[in-house]
Structure 1
Amino acid sequence: MDFTSGYRDPLLAFTEAMSQWYRCYKDARASGKICGESVMQLPVDGASPNWILHLLSCATAPPAAKTRLVHAEFDPSDFMLDGADNMVMLSDSSGLPLGLDVLPGDWAGSLGGGEAAGGDGKRVMSTAQRILGLLCRSMEAPMGGGLPRRPQTLTVIDKKLHRLLSHRKKSLSVLKVALCPEAVGGWVPVGIDPESGALCPRVFNMRWPPTYYCRACKKHSFPSQLKPCAGCKAVLFCAACCPGDTLPQVGPDSGNQHCCQRLSLCMTLGEQIARLPFPYATETTAEDFEMEYFLFRNQLTSGYWVHWSLLIRSPHFQIHSGRGQARNLWLSDHSEPYGPLREEANLLLRHRPHNSPSLTSPLVCWSEYFSWRGLSLTSPVSVLLSSTLSIYYIITSLVPQDFPEVNILKKQSLKIHIIESYREFHTLMSFWELSVLLPHVTFELSFIGERLPQESDEQQLSLQKKSGSVSLVNPAVGSDQKAEKRRIRIKIYKRAYHMLQGPKPDLVIGFRPAIPLRDSWLSTLPRLQSLRVPAYFCELSDLSCESSQQVMSSATGGALSPPTLNPFLCPLRICGGDNLLPWYSNAFIFHLIYKPLAISSNAGDQQQPTNQRVPTAQQNPPPAPVKMTRKERKRAARNHKPK
């Protein structure tokens, strides 16, 4: 039973939810099912009685958004915007999207000379009716989820739209909605001052709570209410696919009791995973955890945090070289990798503890690491350090246990291949912590993957410390003699792993590999089998680890180790989409168990060439021929001569 939702880019999930809502809205409008009378009796939105109508331009997408959508394999034609230049979106005052529609590019020009009076043309009437229809549909089926509800007041951002609706106040009053007297201007969620009643613009924050959809028909929660399977309480189905309290009767999982039992076990692991030492863990491990709200409330809107958000995109930045000349715009901003966490950045990039962790008694949990590093458990920096600490845990705890013959703790240098790990590639500065945890080791990290930026292929970078500060430099431009000798070399290859040529690594690591979902693993796994180096993978759930076993077996004849709960997992829960399973980045770790080399009947000995095999008791060698005299040879010849 494979799940793809935990691996999908949240931006793709967001755009698909918007697209499906828009298609449902168009169908309802075409069939005449949108009726103002049906929403008049709806309860008022108690959490946000004031809704906001925004006007957005959708003519040209920002370059960063295009790049990410292409990476997520999103087809813009699926969004069905009909080539429109403008979009109107409804949200509540907290920034929760409730509905959207598109407007023709000349909608404002259609107001013409009648703009002051609100306009009387057909296109003006059509625009007003579209907005009123959008308002009704957003009440009946809010895109952001929740029960049907209505606002008390409506704030309009655009002044022309406000003037247009101000002459349709009678229609709004039928819906029991009052239009705020002024347009705000700008894409800014607002509130209403409880004392003066005036509009109070606030800092922008678009909320996007977890959106779920039916496992069988893929319908989101806004067309129909979802409920978990009665057997496992994990998989979600709509009423049409799961009638009553019985097990699902429709869909790929119907009648599969074994899956229900297995998924029930996965659900129980959620409590164990959520036992984290961070005070904020209660929020971040909940089923209804809102990533955007968490990032906004903690002002995590810059640095590497942009790779966790739907909204913020990293600006172009300059890679600092020894001569200050190199500019590479294909990387994310590394100048302030930890964003607003200035104290944490100062500790991690400038200061080194007096004592390094013991190799015989390494750090094995977040509490130990935070105490050793002098960090507060209230800090969310663990999110950005999870992958780095996972590598440390693999080197110091797992490899010595699983591959003792490698003697990895005695190595003075380590070549590590990090494969198909897109987010880790964009958070390079966080890997400097490896040189602090293991100061006796010289690291060379090679990032290999088909999804890496084309411009990064064959690039070589270096993490080094100069004047007490860590920076990412391009050695090809020039090295600085004043920099410390300790550094981490970084190499980048945009290609599938089985296409990589070069020296054999000491260790291979992958983050969120999604082995059952990507065909390239059918070639990568045999390549790893031929290298026979320790290969570890950090997955989102133990169920993902089990699904990878079938691919490993069919591709190489090998197996996977039982998944181990990673003590340095990322504490932010990932929405499962069609399920309520506990998904976390780097939650579980497993390693490849390679198919044994061909062996002879003498157990434990590798098969040797035919001309070098040692005979065994079961395979006695033929007796040596007896030497005969000349007389005996003649007699033997006469006896065999035909008569």
Structure 2
Amino acid sequence: MECAATGNSRRCSGGANRRCDGCGAVFYCSASHQISHWSVHKEECGRLKQQISCVKLLNDFPFTFSKEATYQVCEKVETRCSFLDKLGIHRAGIWICECRPLSILKKQLCSRSEYYEWRGVPLDSPVALLLHWPVTIYQAIQLAFGKQLTAETTDELCIHYLGPERELYQAAVFGELHALLPGVQVYIDFVGPAVPHDRDGETLSLCSYAHCMEANCSCKTRKSTDDSSKITLRFHSGYYHDRYQELTKEFLPDLIIAPNAGIAAYKSWLPTIELIREIEVPTIFSDYCEEACRLADNCITSVTGTPLTVPVQLNPFRQPLAVEDSALLLPC
């Protein structure tokens, strides 16, 4: 854990083991650093305390492995690696990016319980660790358009997906959008500096998705190669504001999504937010914790001069595996 006063004029005296009694979210290396940082921290201490109180809500999942994946990871009883190893999927296939550091390799549903029941997935399956990517897209669509998107309401959807990282190596899971948006042809443009240069311009078509376990379910009778509902992924290296003109030569976006964006942490977001303000395309951002979302809210509203249309809220399809070694000890 890093001392919250790091960067002040005085050097840290050691490890940050002194926790703020007020919020319980930040740590200091010494009493003197805690006292000197109070003029900064007092503005956020109460807010962080309120967010800490939400930890039970954020860790409330219906999955049988939830306690191991959240509380025990945060309390250092488990690590992401040991948890995945127990499941026999550590550094295997599509799971390879689920522990840090990243390995470089080439009816409206309202809850995860509803989603699992509809798809016939058992609650002891850790597939939720991967499927949170496509179902978060589904949630963003509902928030942006306020209705369930089907072939009856639209036959085509273009999404600009900003700042992908792990998603680049787990692209196959986006085939789940076949099930979520049947009959809709979806184009997803992945844009960000993490896209390798040798993948710039690459196109990937996903023509199938994982079917449920029921022998007689109607999902097994659907054509998996139906071009009318093809999911097309396209990869673009660089910042969105630099690539936008090129990206929109063929399609204008219907929706922009930026998961785990870190808007307040990276200055490169400022010209992108300016661009989004100008083009007036519905945009949904997410981040790892409420505080990051609040800071992003301040950043976005200061650039655009208007409040958010969609308020900060909990993602019902968030990933049920805690983030380790974050800068603050806030529920994620």
Is 1:429 the counterpart of 2:175 in the alignment? no
TM-score by length of 1: 0.44
CA distance in 1, matches of 2:133, 2:238: 22
Q: What is the aligned counterpart of 1:505 among 220, 240, 253?
A: 253
Q: What is the aligned counterpart of 1:303 among 68, 83, 93?
A: 93
Q: Deviation per CA, 1:340-393, whole angstroms, max 9, x where unpaired?
A: xxxxxxxxxxxxxxxxxx2xxx11111111111111111111010111111112
Task: State whether residues 229 and 236 of structure 1, in contact with CA within 8 Å, keep that contact through their aligned partners in structure 2.
Answer: yes
- SS in structure 2 at match of 1:266: helix
- SS in structure 2 at match of 1:443: strand
1:483, CA displacement in angstroms?
A: 4.5
CA distance in 1, matches of 2:301, 2:79: 38
CA distance in 2, matches of 1:578, 1:222: 18
How has the CA–CA distance of structure 1 residues 494 and 434 changed in structure 2, closer, same or farther, with 3 Å as cutoff? Answer: same
1:494, CA displacement in angstroms?
A: 1.0
CA distance in 2, matches of 1:217, 1:515: 21
| AA of the residue aligned to 1:569 | R
How has the CA–CA distance of structure 1 residues 461 and 234 changed in structure 2, closer, same or farther, with 3 Å as cutoff? Answer: same
* Residue 277 of structure 1: aligned partner: 62
Task: State whether residues 421 and 513 of structure 1, in contact with CA within 8 Å, keep that contact through their aligned partners in structure 2.
Answer: no
| AA of the residue aligned to 1:214 | C
1:310, CA displacement in angstroms?
A: 3.6
How has the CA–CA distance of structure 1 residues 249 and 462 changed in structure 2, closer, same or farther, with 3 Å as cutoff? Answer: same
How has the CA–CA distance of structure 1 residues 296 and 254 changed in structure 2, closer, same or farther, with 3 Å as cutoff? Answer: farther
- SS in structure 2 at match of 1:533: coil
Task: State whether residues 416 and 509 of structure 1, in contact with CA within 8 Å, keep that contact through their aligned partners in structure 2.
Answer: yes
Within 5 Å, give how 1:155-174 maps onto structure 2. none
* Residue 593 of structure 1: aligned partner: none
CA distance in 2, matches of 1:409, 1:446: 24
How has the CA–CA distance of structure 1 residues 530 and 225 changed in structure 2, closer, same or farther, with 3 Å as cutoff? Answer: closer
CA distance in 1, matches of 2:296, 2:155: 33
* Residue 232 of structure 2: aligned partner: 489
How has the CA–CA distance of structure 1 residues 258 and 455 changed in structure 2, closer, same or farther, with 3 Å as cutoff? Answer: same
How has the CA–CA distance of structure 1 residues 412 and 578 changed in structure 2, closer, same or farther, with 3 Å as cutoff? Answer: closer
1:268, CA displacement in angstroms?
A: 0.8
1:487, CA displacement in angstroms?
A: 1.8
| AA of the residue aligned to 2:135 | L
| AA of the residue aligned to 1:238 | C
CA distance in 2, matches of 1:281, 1:458: 38
Within 5 Å, give how 1:155-194 maps onto structure 2. none
Give the CA RMSD over aligned residues: 2.7
* Residue 319 of structure 2: aligned partner: 570
How has the CA–CA distance of structure 1 residues 388 and 261 changed in structure 2, closer, same or farther, with 3 Å as cutoff? Answer: same
Is 1:514 the counterpart of 2:305 in the alignment? no
| AA of the residue aligned to 1:427 | Q
1:409, CA displacement in angstroms?
A: 7.3
Q: Report sequence identity in percent.
A: 29
Task: State whether residues 140 and 257 of structure 2, in contact with CA within 8 Å, keep that contact through their aligned partners in structure 1.
Answer: no
How has the CA–CA distance of structure 1 residues 522 and 214 changed in structure 2, closer, same or farther, with 3 Å as cutoff? Answer: same
* Number of residue pairs the alignment of both structures matches: 302
* Residue 46 of structure 2: aligned partner: 261
Q: What is the aligned counterpart of 1:236 among 9, 27, 30?
A: 27
CA distance in 2, matches of 1:530, 1:311: 36
1:554, CA displacement in angstroms?
A: 3.2
Is 1:250 the counterpart of 2:250 in the alignment? no
Q: Deviation per CA, 1:410-465, whole angstroms, max 9, x where unpaired?
A: 11110011011212222111000111121121111111112210011122221124
1:250, CA displacement in angstroms?
A: 2.8
* Residue 286 of structure 2: aligned partner: 538
- SS in structure 1 at match of 2:44: helix
Within 5 Å, give how 1:581-620 maps onto structure 2. 581-583=330-332
| AA of the residue aligned to 1:424 | E
CA distance in 2, matches of 1:527, 1:408: 30
Task: State whether residues 448 and 492 of structure 1, in contact with CA within 8 Å, keep that contact through their aligned partners in structure 2.
Answer: yes
CA distance in 2, matches of 1:407, 1:531: 25
- SS in structure 2 at match of 1:432: helix
- SS in structure 2 at match of 1:271: helix
How has the CA–CA distance of structure 1 residues 524 and 413 changed in structure 2, closer, same or farther, with 3 Å as cutoff? Answer: same
| AA of the residue aligned to 1:299 | G
- Higher RCO (C-alpha 8 Å, min separation 6): 2
- SS in structure 2 at match of 1:258: coil
CA distance in 1, matches of 2:69, 2:158: 34
Higher-Rg member (1/2): 1
| AA of the residue aligned to 1:226 | N
1:279, CA displacement in angstroms?
A: 1.7
TM-score by length of 2: 0.83
1:282, CA displacement in angstroms?
A: 1.3
1:223, CA displacement in angstroms?
A: 4.8
* Residue 143 of structure 2: aligned partner: 398
CA distance in 1, matches of 2:82, 2:315: 26
* Residue 206 of structure 2: aligned partner: 463
Q: What is the aligned counterpart of 2:296 among 545, 548, 551?
A: 548
1:514, CA displacement in angstroms?
A: 0.8
CA distance in 1, matches of 2:102, 2:267: 31
- SS in structure 2 at match of 1:540: coil
| AA of the residue aligned to 2:46 | Q
Unpaired runs of 5+ in structure 2?
Answer: 212-223
| AA of the residue aligned to 2:315 | N
1:578, CA displacement in angstroms?
A: 4.0
* Residue 216 of structure 2: aligned partner: none
Task: State whether residues 214 and 238 of structure 1, in contact with CA within 8 Å, keep that contact through their aligned partners in structure 2.
Answer: yes
Task: State whether residues 504 and 531 of structure 1, in contact with CA within 8 Å, keep that contact through their aligned partners in structure 2.
Answer: no
* Residue 636 of structure 1: aligned partner: none
How has the CA–CA distance of structure 1 residues 523 and 217 changed in structure 2, closer, same or farther, with 3 Å as cutoff? Answer: closer
Task: State whether residues 14 and 29 of structure 2, in contact with CA within 8 Å, keep that contact through their aligned partners in structure 1.
Answer: no
How has the CA–CA distance of structure 1 residues 224 and 311 changed in structure 2, closer, same or farther, with 3 Å as cutoff? Answer: closer
